[in-house]
Amino acid sequence: MLISLLVLGSVSTQLALFHVYGYRAVRNLAEQNLSQVHDRIADRMRDYFEIAERVSRVNRKTIEMGHWDRHDLASWRDAFYEQMRGFDTVSSILWGDVFGGAVFVSRYPGENGYRFGVRVPAVDPRASEFRLFDDGRLADVPTAIYEYDPRNRPWYQTAIAAGEPAWGGIYTWVPKAGMVPVLSVPFVAPVYGRSGEMLGVFDVEISLHDLGDFLRTLAIGRTGVAYVMDHDGLLVATSAGVPVVEGATGQRLPATASGHPLIATSAARVSDRLTREADTPQRFSDTFEVGGAEVMLMAAPFSRFGHLRWLAVTLVPADDFLAPIKSGRGQGLLIAALTVAVSLGLGILIALFVARPIEALSDHVRRIGGGNLDAEIRLTEFPEFVRLSDAINRMVEGLRERLHLRKSLALAMEVQQRLLPLHTPEYFGLEIAGHSDYCEETGGDYFDYLELRARPADIAVVAIGDVSGHGVAAAMIMASARAVLRSRGRDTDSLAELLGHMNRQITEDVGGGRFMTMLLLAINVRQRTLRWACAGHREPLLLQPGAAAFTQLEGAGIPLGIDADAQYQEHRFDDLRAGQILLLATDGLWEAKDPDGQKLGLDRLVAVIRDNSHLPAAAIRERVAAAEQAFRGGRPQSDDISFVVIKVTDTGSA
């Protein structure tokens, strides 16, 4: 009897070890699953918003430069249509001017093709809406004619009130009678002419129906859910398919009133963690019970432009991962009881049979913790062991892939750094210094020193560019652009022709999915001339000795990769003098933000360069880079940063 009790105790101890180590391993798997889901949600939402912001920025620049005829709004249709096809996360592109004119292209959820609308008050005070087919054809007869004035719309008024680009509030709309209400969020921006006069408002909208579709593709355990709510506690999108608006009234629903019990219960717990203050809490975890069952929760904030603040929440019942552990424990106890009842010998054998996989699992988990990711474990004693060992092997495989990806990214970063100039050529009368810093392992910023056909040795040719987005895809486009630029540059001395060739090549390569801004600059110090050609990039910034602001040199075209037939022009400045300083930069420099969300801006850059203008160009470069890092105050870099400082030291004879 005593020996039997010892056997029972031994088996029970082994089962307890199995439960403890297995429980810990599976909880770690669950937390990693939730963390990976959150990373995917954050990446997708960041893509949605960044694409809308970049589309808005490019189109506003096009309007400000007068490349679109504001007296013929219907002629904007093709440009809007191509952008809608290239960026499927955008649901609407709209323009409304100060006279009440409007033009838009929209995509309705669940409907093939697009809708094109235009309002010309001088012709008809009403708006006409047409069906726009996938091949670009426009229906002959309008599908709807209705009263419409963009100046009375919330998105227009939001832009006027903000006075700058901003994300507006979420609003509910019904595409047509009988359809389920849809949530959208607009990115609005006032547009001004060169004299500072108000021209109108540009609006790029995202349908949150698409965000809900994405959430429903996520695998969160067996029965887990994910949802997003705003700072007012109202639902934005869910993976559970439950309504986010009340069908009869179109009113948005609070997360706490959701028909899904996990969403309603968790929203009450996290609502007090979501505040309107700037110090929105970082990612946090929690556990709670619903109907006596433990639920694991992970939540993380998401914000844009300091106005839009959402919270993404992921939930999964613990039993989705722990059920095999609990089941295995019950079966083990039954085996222990039978062992004591049958015989001591059988009990010892069964105890050893159960102890071996537990010890193997424990040893394997410790090896993983020690960094050994090459070995696999294959437990076959019980179905639960099989599933658990398979889950652990999949986890280890994922860790190996992540380490391999990190090594690949490190190699890509090393290769890309070598694509940037290692040395600065020497030119008479000039000091040149460049800098590049990516916010990820790889990026899309680029600067270079070129050789053009028939270029005298004392003429400096500098290029700087910015590919939309970050990461490996942007780096590949940058590398391709560099190859085209260097190979084609030896066949021409025309900056405009070189940009046109690059535009055709990039448009063919990327198919409209991405675009790149580019500035080419040629300096002849002996002739005191400066030539440049620009594709959607900020023109050269010129600082006169002792000046309090940059002299704006104007002349830009549309970015590369949008319109294969775009034409570019070369511009000229004929008053180079010693002491002048030129700054060529990507927008990540002056749009760097401090912990409060304030941008660095051009005024602060002017002050840094002016105060250090007596130093060589290399020293000015270091002071600018240090000032940008100090301004961020520890805030992570949100965009790639590249710039080139050019100082004119002499314009006389050599």
Query: pLDDT digit string (tens) for 150-209?
Result: 999 999 999 999 999 999 888 887 666 566 677 889 999 999 988 889 999 999 999 888
- Looking at the DSSP bridge assignments, the partners of residue 300 are 312
For 304, the token pair is 């844009």
Q: Which of the two residues, 120 and 341, has the higher pLDDT score?
A: 120
Q: Which residues contact 31 (CB under 8 A, 6 or more apart)?
A: 285, 296, 298
CA dist., res. 617 & res. 644, Å (int): 9
Which residue blocks in 437-544 are alpha helix, DSSP H? 471-489, 495-510
- According to CATH, where is 3.30.450.20 located in the chain? 50-210, 219-317
Q: Which of the two residues, 134 and 651, has the higher pLDDT score?
A: 134
Q: Which residues contact 357 (CB under 8 A, 6 or more apart)?
A: 18, 379, 381, 382, 385
Superfamily of domain 420-648: PPM-type phosphatase domain (3.60.40.10)
Using DSSP's 3-state secondary structure scheme, residue 117 falls into: strand
| Angle ∠(213,216,217) on CA atoms, nearest 5 | 95
Highest mean pLDDT among 18-22, 183-187, 454-458, 488-492: 183-187
The pLDDT value recorded for residue 186 is 93
Region of 158 on the Ramachandran plot (φ > 0 left; ψ -120 to 50 alpha; else beta):
alpha
Name the phi and psi angles at 117, rounded to 5: -130, 150
Which residue blocks in 283-382 are alpha helix, DSSP H? 319-342, 344-369
- According to CATH, where is 3.60.40.10 located in the chain? 420-648
Is the per-residue pLDDT at 644 higher than 50?
Answer: yes
DSSP string covering 180-241, please? Answer: PPEEEEEEEEEEE-TTS-EEEEEEEEEEHHHHHHHHTT---TTT-EEEEEETTSBEEEESS-
The pLDDT value recorded for residue 207 is 87
Go through 348-368 and write b for each residue having 16 or more CB atoms within 10 A of its CB, e for each that does not. Answer: bebbeebbebbebbbebbeeb
Span 362-391, pLDDT tens digits: 677 777 766 666 667 777 666 777 777 777
Span 594-635, pLDDT tens digits: 999 999 999 999 999 999 999 999 999 999 999 999 999 989
What is the CATH number that goes with domain 50-210? 3.30.450.20
Q: pTM value?
A: 0.48
For 473, the token pair is 């895809």
The pLDDT value recorded for residue 134 is 84
| Angle ∠(82,85,91) on CA atoms, nearest 5 | 110
Architecture of domain 219-317: 2-Layer Sandwich (3.30)
Is the per-residue pLDDT at 504 higher than 80?
Answer: yes
Is the per-residue pLDDT at 67 higher than 60?
Answer: yes
Q: How many CB atoms lie within 10 A of CB 631?
A: 18
Cβ burial, residue 180 (10 Å; 0-12/13-18/19+): middle
28 DSSP assignment: H
